[in-house]
Amino acid sequence: MKWIVLFSCVLSVLISRVYSQGLIIEFFRQTANNLTSPVNEVVVDSTSIDRLQIVCKINGISNIVKFNNIILNRVTSTGSQVPLVTMQTDVSTRPGYQTPYLYPGSGITGIQAVGSFSETDPTIGISIPFSSLSCSNADSYNCTMSYGYAAGPLDPLLPGRAEGTKNLTVSVQPNNVDLRAFNQSSSLPIQSPTGTVATNMAHFMIGQVVKLTCKANLGTRSNGLISWKKSNIVAGSDMANYIPNNNEREEGQVVANGCQFEKTDSIMYNMTDQDAIRTSNNPLQFQCYISIPGSSALLPETTMKNFFIKVYNVNEPTTGGLATAGSGDAGVIAGAVIGSLVGIVIIVLLVYFLWYRRRAAGDDYTTKEEQGASNPNLAPEPQYAQSTKKGHENRAMDERTDSSHRYANDSYDRKDRHDRSDRNGQRGVGRRNLALDDDDEDYHSRDGSPTMNHSTHMGIDPEHGGIGTGV
């Protein structure tokens, strides 16, 4: 009897171990019309309206009488399990009684619980919109179930436990490239949209060098490459693969950005004479695009970018600013040149206008000699006798002489209050030389008494005011 009991216990353990792996997890893609197909890899598509189903179900467990509880978990990168959905048959007042129950807080937009109830063949799972998927959903999913089974119809109910795990591969295709251009003569970027379309090309001269930098989002394809194409010199031909020399290419490293990868490559190109003779319908054009080795999957158009260049000869006139200092600076330079020319024209016109106006007003400038010759009524310049006296008187005389010479015309015009005419035989009768009279005070002694008569000093006849020979 002891041996029989021991054998039964060992058999029970063996059966429990056999059934411990009796669950499987499957992935399905469900279309809008509810058609499903199994998938092994999920590719993120933000524009898709399809859904991803992750379903857990029994696989090969026999003699099951009733399941007690089944639950689907997501296993994080740290190994912790996050419950997603559950169903149970034990307590009718608890969540998930005979119907799938979705745990709150999954953080997945649009997630739904799916499954069906059966005491011996339950299924449970979740449904996620493809548009909500990201590479962070690429985790392991674990499903566990507790149940009761019997070896035979009359045998007692024994506890059992089953488990299944499967990894979900979520791929993010390359989805974007960013192409920027630099003129190496200025190292300034050429601002978009210049060069991005054939109707707004970047302008370069022969001999100038352009640097094109392409930054690619590779998604989860860490083996993605950046490739280049160049327009053919023959119009109408397809673009050809372009492989620059080693010294004309800068290949960057693949860098992880969360669960996705990025890469940046650059090439440099020197404008040639051949580029300058291209026709308008076949401009110089470069294209950077992403390629995945070993993959034939079609990538979106956003994974390729073009750059258009119009190349000019040195002596050829251009219709737009050259990209020597960025597309914006060319316009500034052209505007400065035009503004300078306009300013010169305005200045010339202003000078001519002022000259013409002065001439029309009758303004003219003549010398003293010209004024004397043309005006017979103008008194001649006075002649003074040379004084033989020295000292203070001579210095005063010298000062008066300089003053009279410098302001001859003014002195006679302003200070002559009498008739200058010589028609009566007299020369300037009653005329006073105010320019000299103003400084009579210079001829006094230190005590204030006059030292000499001013008329005597100047050799002027006090009676007639005539100029003498001096005393």
Whether 275 and 313 share a structural domain:
yes
Instruction: Say if residues 229 and 240 touch (Cβ distance below 8 Å).
Output: yes
Does residue 382 belong to any structural domain of this protein?
yes
* Unique residue bearing structure tokens 């020295």: 390
Whether 193 and 144 share a structural domain:
no
Whether 151 and 44 share a structural domain:
yes
How many whole angstroms from its chain centre is CA 112?
Answer: 44
Whether 40 and 133 share a structural domain:
yes
CA pair distance 256, 260, nearest whole angstrom: 6
Domain of residue 242, residue span:
176-327
Does residue 102 belong to any structural domain of this protein?
yes
Crossing angle for the helix pair 392-406 and 408-415, nearest 10 degrees? 90
> How many other C-beta atoms are found inside a 10 Å radius of the C-beta of residue 311?
24
Whether 231 and 146 share a structural domain:
no
| pLDDT at position 61 | 87
Task: State which of 171, 200, 223 marks the end of a domain.
Answer: 171
Does residue 353 belong to any structural domain of this protein?
no
CA pair distance 175, 220, nearest whole angstrom: 10
Q: What does 138-169 look like in DSSP terms, one character per residue? A: --EEEEEEEEEE-SSTTSPPEEEEEEEEEEPE
Whether 147 and 240 share a structural domain:
no
Work out how many domains the chain is built from and give that number.
Answer: 3
Q: What angle do CA 403, 406, 409 make, to 5 degrees?
A: 105
Does residue 213 belong to any structural domain of this protein?
yes
Name beta bridge partners: 148: 66, 159
Q: What is the DSSP letter of 248?
A: G
Helix, strand, coil shares of the chain as percentages rounded to 5?
25, 30, 45
Instruction: Say if residues 327 and 190 touch (Cβ distance below 8 Å).
Output: yes
pLDDT per position in the chain (471 positions), as tens? 344 333 333 333 333 333 346 899 999 999 989 899 999 888 888 888 999 999 999 988 888 999 999 999 999 888 889 999 999 999 999 999 999 999 998 888 899 999 999 999 999 999 999 998 888 888 899 999 999 998 887 888 899 999 999 999 998 889 899 999 999 877 678 888 899 998 999 999 999 999 999 999 999 999 999 999 999 999 889 999 999 988 899 999 999 988 899 999 999 999 999 999 998 889 999 999 999 998 877 888 899 999 999 999 876 655 544 444 344 444 444 555 677 787 888 888 888 788 777 777 655 545 445 445 445 554 555 554 444 444 444 444 444 444 444 444 444 444 444 444 444 444 444 444 444 344 444 444 444 444 444 444 444 444 444 444 443
CA pair distance 226, 208, nearest whole angstrom: 24
Task: State which of 277, 310, 327 marks the end of a domain.
Answer: 327
* Unique residue bearing structure tokens 């219709």: 319
Whether 133 and 247 share a structural domain:
no
Task: State which of 300, 327, 354 marks the end of a domain.
Answer: 327
| pLDDT at position 403 | 44
Q: What is the CATH number of the domain that holds 269?
A: 2.60.40.10
**Cβ neighbours of residue 357 under 8 Å, at least 6 residues apart?**
none
